[in-house]
Structure 1
Amino acid sequence: MLGAVGPRLRELRRQRQMKLSDVADVTGLSTSTLSRLESGHRRPTLDLLIPLAQVYRVALDDVVGAPPTGDPRIHLKPIRRHGRVYLPLTRSGAPVQAFKVVLPPRGDGKPAKQSTHGGYEWLYVLSGSVDLALGTQVTTLVVGDAAEFDTRQPHSITGSSDTASEILTLFSPQGEQIHIRDA
């Protein structure tokens, strides 16, 4: 089990696009120690693994490859922001983040402020209807509609019905598209 820790640490660091020196700066561990951990030339200890798990935002069990135990359910803790309610459906740090989002009813008719950020998003309308603005193009999506887009283009998602709307959204900060292949 301990022999697999090094490669796991290297993969976590690379997924987060960090250099050994970046991790060393944040954890206070030397780049030499980190390099030896990743190559398997240094035995991992809790003193070394705990700060690395914190930097990589993963559970210590994930770093050491412990077998799954306990309750696999995600315990939803709603996040309220800008009149919306976000229910996380994945653990923090997952490569693809899933959320159920409750959008307030249609606003005052003013166009919503658009934002841009790295990543790729997919959404599915569960109830109500939403306006998806991508630049100057606005598309109204209704129950059962799905959309995907590169979040580097200006975008906004707003409720367009008289009652609250609900969407399921998947977001990948790496900008990877969601692909489903039919067997």
Structure 2
Amino acid sequence: MDEQPSVDAVIEQIAPRLRRAREKKDISLAELARATGISTSTLSRLESAQRKPSLELLLPITAALGIPLDEIVAAPRILDPRVPQKPTRKDGRVLIPLSRQQAEPRAYKLTIPAHDTEPHLRTHAGHEWLFVLRGRLRVKLGDGDFVAGPGEAVEFDCNIPHWFGAAGRGSVEVLSLFGKQGERIHFLSRNRQQ
């Protein structure tokens, strides 16, 4: 079984993530201090790992930056011993199988790097369903070109020329269900009960 990251390793990542998130939003320490009520010196110490982060500090910071807390504090990776979760890497993409069996449709978690933005259309047998967990997913499907954000789903026949990759500055994380035989997957977006 994979070794879980230590608490110290998770905490070490908070400082650089805070700085990157603030710089990405083009907000100065002084502006963030005014928005959160946290002193500039405390914010500076947090970003340089000289002050231990706490929820009392991180919650107002992430709210002021308009980002989810898990963008700063990585959620623990929970391993299911029934599912082989050994990731494979290809062209910067990381694919983790989530299905226990070889039966279809197969489930995967896919992380696409931010630099993966150049479309290369392809076709093959099957049907695919993508659900965006984090980031923005660009999808080219035939003549169409659109972007899906967190919580949105895309479904398509893989015989249509298609490509999907990152849209924006960050990586994108998706859940993928794929069936080689073209099984259809349906996702209802609203409750139809009256």
1:81 aligns with 2:90: yes
Structure 1 stretches of at least 4 aligned residues deviating more than 4 Å after TM superposition: 180-183
Give the Å deviation of 1:146.
0.3
Tell me the residue number matched to 1:101.
Answer: 110
Give the Å deviation of 1:116.
0.4
Q: TM-score, normalised by structure 2?
A: 0.53
Please, which moves more after superposition, 145-154 or 72-81? 72-81
CA RMSD of aligned residues (A): 2.1
1:160 aligns with 2:173: no
Residues 42-53 of structure 1: pairs in structure 2 closer than 5 A: none
Over the matched positions of the two proteins, sequence identity in percent amounts to 39
Q: In structure 1, the residue corresponding to 2:114 is in which secondary structure? A: coil
Matched residues in 2 for 1:83 and 1:136: separation? Answer: 26
Matched residues in 2 for 1:92 and 1:112: separation? Answer: 31
1:135 aligns with 2:165: no
Give the Å deviation of 1:180.
5.6
1:55-88: CA deviation from partner (whole Å, max 9, x where unpaired): xxxxxxxxxxxxxxxx862030101012100000
Equivalences, count:
111
Which consecutive residues of structure 2, in runs of 5 or more, have no partner in the other structure?
A: 1-79
Which consecutive residues of structure 1, in runs of 5 or more, have no partner in the other structure?
A: 1-70
1:109-130: CA deviation from partner (whole Å, max 9, x where unpaired): 6x41111000000000000001
Tell me the residue number matched to 1:54.
Answer: none
**Equivalent residue letter for 1:103:** I
Matched residues in 1 for 2:114 and 2:101: separation? Answer: 28
Tell me the residue number matched to 1:116.
Answer: 123
1:146 aligns with 2:156: no
Retained in 2: the 8 A contact 1:106–1:161?
Answer: no
1:5-41: CA deviation from partner (whole Å, max 9, x where unpaired): xxxxxxxxxxxxxxxxxxxxxxxxxxxxxxxxxxxxx
Matched residues in 1 for 2:186 and 2:152: separation? Answer: 17
**Equivalent residue letter for 2:87:** P
